[in-house]
């Protein structure tokens, strides 16, 4: 009779497998969307100039 709770616990552990997979899929889609948005923003001339200016000032030798 002691085996039944153990079996029930093991079965309960497997019931959420599909939910975990769906969560990973949603997180992956969100990450891809964010990356695409970041690429669009970084390709704009204004942002590119801002970043170039920032790096140039950071690497400039002090007078």
All structural domains of the chain with their residue ranges: 3-59
What's the whole-model pTM score? 0.50
For residue 51, what are the contacts with CB-CB under 8 A and spacing of at least 6? Answer: 42
Specify the pLDDT at position 16. Answer: 60
Q: What is the mean pLDDT of each run of 10 residues along the chain (63 residues)?
A: 66 63 90 94 90 92 71
Specify the pLDDT at position 10. Answer: 66
Specify the pLDDT at position 3. Answer: 64
């Amino acid at each position: 009779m002691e085996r039944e709770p153990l079996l029930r616990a093991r079965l309960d552990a497997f019931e959420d497998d599909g939910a975990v997979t769906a969560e990973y899929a949603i997180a992956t889609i969100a990450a891809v969307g964010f990356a695409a948005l970041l690429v669009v923003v970084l390709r704009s001339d204004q942002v590119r100039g801002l970043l170039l200016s920032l790096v140039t000032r950071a690497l400039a030798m002090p007078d």
